[in-house]
Amino acid sequence: MEAKAETRPSRKGIILQEAARLFREKGYRASTLRELARRSGVKGGSIYYHFASKQEILYRIMDETMNNLLQGLEHEIREEQDPVHRLNRGIEFHIRYHLENQDETHVADTELINLGDDHRRRIVGKRAEYERTFSGILEEGTREGVMGVGNTKLASIAVLQMCTGIPYWFNEEGPLSVDEVVAQYIDFVFWGVLGRAGRRESI
């Protein structure tokens, strides 16, 4: 029912998009509905025709983001069998989605604290599910002997945490392209700081 992230012609969609941008710029609590209304091209009261509360707007942004991540990841790794390739594609998807939807993912990653208990539990559940997909890959790879991870749960959290942080410093006009960032991070995740020296295999 909801349109894709790219083209949201409806007023409701515009408000969500502007809300993500505003919340990212100032933080949820510091953002006012008056400012959101102004940016969305309506007056303050009109927001409440589309949403029951400010809180609901935040939840919609975060929930849609998590759904996109879960479905996108699943779709991306579905056909791959080899754990190394699955991890490779999973990380690439994660980074690209975060760089292509910076406002929404930033909000989803930082505003958990401002959700009510019920909403927060639902988002946390989806995050846990997303993370389990990655730890499952690391587990499988380690069991098969193509990876060597001591604690797969820890490592999967570490991988996601570092990739999630990319939009914080990435600059479109900077020297690095998205492709290069993806390549560097994947390289680092697989090989660590010691690098390829002395390894017998390559990916």
How far is CA 67 from each of CA 57, 64, 123, 168, rounded to the nearest angstrom?
16, 5, 10, 22
Stretch that binds DNA, among 34-42, 73-81, 108-116, 182-190 (CB under 7 A): 34-42
Query: Is residue 34 involved in binding DNA (CB under 7 A)?
Result: yes
Pick the closer one to a copy of itself by CB: 12 or 107: 107
18, 19, 22, 50: residue in contact with DNA (rule CB under 7 A): 50
Stretch that binds a copy of itself, among 11-19, 57-65, 68-76, 195-203 (CB under 8 A): 195-203
Whether the Cβ atoms of residue 22 and residue 35 lie closer than 8 Å to each other: yes
Q: Could you tell me the smallest distance in angstroms from the CB atom of residue 45 to a copy of itself?
A: 23
Stretch that binds DNA, among 28-36, 74-82, 109-117, 159-167 (CB under 7 A): 28-36
Query: Is residue 31 involved in binding DNA (CB under 7 A)?
Result: yes
1, 52, 128, 194: residue in contact with DNA (rule CB under 7 A): 52
**What is d(CA 122, CA 181) in angstroms, rounded to the nearest whole number?**
31
Any idea which residue has 């996108």 for tokens?
Answer: 72
Stretch that binds a copy of itself, among 2-10, 46-54, 57-65, 161-169 (CB under 8 A): 161-169
Binders in 2-41 for a copy of itself, by CB under 8 A: 26-27, 29-30
Query: Is residue 181 involved in binding a copy of itself (CB under 8 A)?
Result: yes
DSSP assignment of the chain: -PPPSS---SHHHHHHHHHHHHHHHH-TTT--HHHHHHHHTS-GGGHHHH-S-HHHHHHHHHHHHHHHHHHHHHHHHTT--SHHHHHHHHHHHHHHHHHHSHHHHHHHHH-GGGS-HHHHHHHHHHHHHHHHHHHHHHHHHHHHTS---S-HHHHHHHHHHHHHTHHHH--TTSS--HHHHHHHHHHHHHHTTTTTTT-S---
Query: Is residue 117 involved in binding a copy of itself (CB under 8 A)?
Result: no
CA atoms within 13 A on the CB side of 1: 2
Query: Is residue 194 involved in binding a copy of itself (CB under 8 A)?
Result: yes
Footprint of a copy of itself (CB under 8 A): 26-27, 29-30, 87, 110, 113-114, 138, 141-142, 145-151, 154-155, 157-159, 161-162, 164-165, 169, 176, 181, 183-185, 187-201
Footprint of DNA (CB under 7 A): 11, 31-34, 37, 42-46, 48-50, 52-55
